[in-house]
Amino acid sequence: MNSKSFCFFYIIFGHVATILIFVVGFLPIRNKNQTISNWNDSFPKDVNGLLLNPEQLYTAKLTRIVLIVIDALRADFILGENLNSMPFLSDLHRNGKACSYLAQAHTPTVTLPRIKALLTGSVPGFADVIFNLGSPQLDEDNVLSQFAAHNHKMVFYGDDTWLKLFPRKFVRSEGTTSFFVNDFIEVDDNVTRHLDFELKQTDWSVMILHYLGLDHIGHVSGPRSPLIPKKLREMDDVIKKIHQRFSTKHTAIIICGDHGMSDSGSHGGSSKSEVEIPLTFVMEGCQPDSKSDSDFSNHLQIDLAPTMAVLMGVPIPSNNLGSLLLGVTHDFELKHKLYAAYVNARNIHLQSKTNAENLEFQRAVKLYQDWLTNNASGKEDYIVNLFVKSAAEMSSISIKSLVEFDLYLMIVGIIISFQLLVITVLECQIVIGCSTARPVYSFIIGISLFLILGHVLTCVSIDNESHICISGHVPAMHCIGLSFCIICLFVINFQLIWNRSHICIKQLGSIPEVFLLFGSLLHAFSLGASSFVEEEHQTYYYFVNTLALLMISKSKNQKESVISLFGFMGLVRIARCWNQTGDKWINEADVKEWLNKPANQPYLTISSVIGAMGILHWIHSNLKLGTLQMMSTFVCLCANLAYRSAFGFFSIYYPQSTGLVEAGVAYLSLIAIGVSSRERSSTFIAMWIVLTSLLKRPHNLILTWIHLLQYSLISPHLTKQLHPFYTNLAHYWIGMTWYFQEGNGNNLARIDLASGYVGLSTYNVFAVGFLLSCATFSGPVLALLLDIHRQKLHSKNNFQMYGFIYSRMFIMTLFFIIVTSLRYHLFVWTVFSPKLLYEGAMSIFMSLIIILAR
């Protein structure tokens, strides 16, 4: 291995390493406690030797609970000056039969995470969102499973998210879907119509109603719509109906919103109107917050979980971070109240080691102990308040540590990635030329000593909060190993840059080349705006067409280039209507929607067959394949069509089949193509096209052919007009347009999970992951392979891939900086983090392919 290719591999390796370093710093993985609270373990039987009897102290206060979740019920709809918007409820407030608390929901203010938080009492981090992508079922400890374990019968009507979260938990249930946002009335009537029946039944003790109408009104006409007071009065009637049936002595009706509503009517962010929700309890013996007491007026949405558990006398969920709402326990016997507060605070206290030194909790336990021995000290309220206060304090520390970024590690990642970028730019010698010098060893040793010193000093000054400093929460070997690797990377990078330190600036190239260079800079900088991340596909479509236009103006043979490049632009224009993606124009009509209508199935069939034939023809005429390989390709495409017929996508008769055999045949012929390989790059391209067309949705089959045609039109001009580095860059852009044209986007919901399970009968995490990345990144990788093939055809020895690596590296480095500086941005979890994951996955996958296919 010569030094050139050593440098190349080192850059790729370093790139992957920096991505891992940065992501570890940015997304700390929380160790989730999977234990389920039970009657034996979660109740303390003594306080420092003083015996307690949980069975007497922790009893159910209610026999029945009705939880009404009103989607997007913002706090100021029913609290404060708008109290009269629900007349019956405000009467109850005045008679002291109901009390409301203003509570804060956590971000993201979207229904599913909020329901989870409401029931588990915990705050899911972003890493959880990723790990939960596959399994919607909630297996963390939560109030509903505690109810179920204590033989409470539950009924549910409303948003069907709950049924996915808790399958088979409800005795009777009906879900409504929230897809039709324009439906304001029926979606709620479908819930309310069951009410009369359920109110006559006596077997259930927990009823949950989830109303979606208010959210729909908000999305369509905003929070100031005249429909909203009407809807609130409808909700008021529901409460009245339930209240008249049950006396409030042993029944509580809890009304809460899952999230608020912003002033434009949507939700998902973290503005005040989106996070503030009401928690209303219709029950006897509750006490609202006194206005003067500021300590307890900041409640959280998750406080509902322990409160419900205490009211129903079931154990508090093990991951709960909410603290008991004291106003609700106003009428409790003193010892019950104290014990409940103690159990709640102790549960939070045990969750994290950092809570061990919490003085308030220790003092509260001490006072509780005193109270138990003396039994009448008159300080009960003070002790209870102290417990709740310490619980809130400990939980806020825990919640903060969930979103705590490892800033040191992130900055280290940025610096290394910046060094690698400099090395790449120097190595590809495109704008900057350089000559190499010999390494100076004393310099290297000096740098490494300096780095070690700096590392130790930083660790001491930031209190060992980072993953690479030795502290309690990461094993010491792990810390030392990681620090050592990072310092090695630093030193090698320093040396590589030092070797090339005699730099001269070269002149820029022709106009398309200048545009490629500045366009890639412009694109990378545009990722700092959340809308440009959401609409990134528009940037690529626009840039690629501009590139083609500039190349027309610079080409020598005008007529021919005008025809082929205008053809290219036209095909890009057609392909961009294939799958709408992004956020702003996602609802525009597209070809995908049209082809997938049941009435248009014949067209889907025809288009897929044409697509398969076109792909076969393109492979035949553009790649150097043997006869056996061509036959295998043909068999594979036929098996592909058969596989789709087996799933009923096509309007032709096909015998009953699970599709496994067809996919198996396709995979086998894929292997046959690989085994009978003559020319490596052609074989790779053929295999890749055939594999990804198997994984894609049927409507994208013809799109693959369109992509190949686009490539045939533009590639001679790329070769003729551009320097190899810029040709790389142009291929990368074209690959990215293909990526977006296939319907991918920067939203985690755009991943087509079905493509990971093609031809698999059992779940295998590696197989699914591999197939999923193949299907998702099929466009950029295809462009990469085509570029390798093109370079092998045209220049045998002068082979370079730095354009791809440069663009990946530049985007990653800049995006690291953007994410670090915007880490408290409103959209960091909804826009920037998914984008970071996509980019990281793409970089790692493409590095793998570059190493394999080179």
Partner 1 sequence: MQSNRSRSKSRFSNENIGCIWNVFLCFSIMFWRRMNEGNGEGGNTFQFPFCFSILLVNITFSYVLSYFRHKEKIELTSLLRYGLLTSTLFHILSVLFGAPFLKNWDRTISFSMLLSALILPSVATCAGNLGNSLNFSCFEWMGANELSTCFGAWLGAFVIPLDWDCSWQVWPEPVAVGAVVGCGLSSLLKLIGPAITTNSAGYKMYWPTKYFVHERHV
Q: Least Å distance between CB 534 and partner 1? A: 7
Strand partners, 67: 208, 254
Longest dimension (CA), the chain: 101
Alpha carbons 492 and 20: distance in angstroms, whole number: 18
Grouping H, G, I as helix, E, B as strand and the rest as coil, residue 182 is coil
Q: Least Å distance between CB 531 and partner 1? A: 4
Nearer to partner 1, 432 or 767 (CB): 432
Nearer to partner 1, 600 or 622 (CB): 600
Q: Least Å distance between CB 729 and partner 1? A: 15
Grouping H, G, I as helix, E, B as strand and the rest as coil, residue 158 is strand
Q: Least Å distance between CB 294 and partner 1? A: 37
Nearer to partner 1, 34 or 558 (CB): 558
Q: Which amino acid is at 657?
A: S
Nearer to partner 1, 210 or 576 (CB): 576
Nearer to partner 1, 627 or 798 (CB): 798
Nearer to partner 1, 82 or 526 (CB): 526
Contacts of 217 (CB under 8 A, 6+ apart): 184, 225, 227, 228, 231
Nearer to partner 1, 323 or 747 (CB): 747
Q: Least Å distance between CB 844 and partner 1? A: 28
Q: Extract the tokens encoding 227.
A: 């429909």
Residues at the site binding partner 1, with contacts judged by CB under 8 A: 506-511, 514, 526, 529-532, 534-535, 538, 541-542, 545-546, 549, 552-553, 558-559, 562, 566, 569-570, 572-573, 576, 582-584, 723
Alpha carbons 684 and 817: distance in angstroms, whole number: 35
From residue 418, give the alpha-carbon distance in Å to each of 17, 19, 221, 458. 13, 12, 47, 20
Nearer to partner 1, 104 or 531 (CB): 531
Q: Which amino acid is at 739?
A: Y
Q: Least Å distance between CB 582 and partner 1? A: 8
Q: Extract the tokens encoding 88.
A: 């019956």
Alpha carbons 161 and 177: distance in angstroms, whole number: 8
Strand partners, 104: 276, 300
Alpha carbons within 13 A on the beta-carbon side of 468: 25
Nearer to partner 1, 291 or 556 (CB): 556
**Residue among 587, 577, 586, 592 at smallest CA distance from 747:** 586
Nearer to partner 1, 273 or 538 (CB): 538
Nearer to partner 1, 419 or 545 (CB): 545
Q: Least Å distance between CB 497 and partner 1? A: 22
CB 784 within 8 A of CB 731: yes
Alpha carbons 117 and 165: distance in angstroms, whole number: 12
Nearer to partner 1, 568 or 711 (CB): 568
- Calculate ∠ Cα 383-385-390, nearest 5°: 95
Q: Least Å distance between CB 538 and partner 1? A: 5
Alpha carbons 144 and 546: distance in angstroms, whole number: 57
* Other beta carbons within 10 Å of 452: 13
For the chain, report the end-to-end CA distance as a whole number of angstroms.
Answer: 14
Q: Extract the tokens encoding 759.
A: 């031809």
Nearer to partner 1, 269 or 278 (CB): 269
Q: Least Å distance between CB 207 and partner 1? A: 40
Q: How many helices (H) and strands (E) does the chain have?
A: 35, 12
Chain centroid to CA 807: how far? 24
The per-residue b/e assignment along 563-589, b for 16 or more CB within 10 angstroms, e otherwise, is ebbebbbebbeebbebbbbbeeeeeee
Alpha carbons within 13 A on the beta-carbon side of 551: 30
Q: Least Å distance between CB 778 and partner 1? A: 23
Residue 505 φ/ψ, nearest 5 degrees: -85, 130
Nearer to partner 1, 529 or 793 (CB): 529
Strand order in the sheet with 299-300: 172-176, 154-159, 206-211, 64-70, 251-257, 276-282, 98-104, 299-300
Report the phi/psi class of residue 446: left, alpha or beta, with left for phi > 0 and alpha for psi in -120 to 50.
alpha
Which value, in Å, is the radius of gyration of the alpha carbons in the chain? 31
Q: Extract the tokens encoding 698.
A: 């049927």
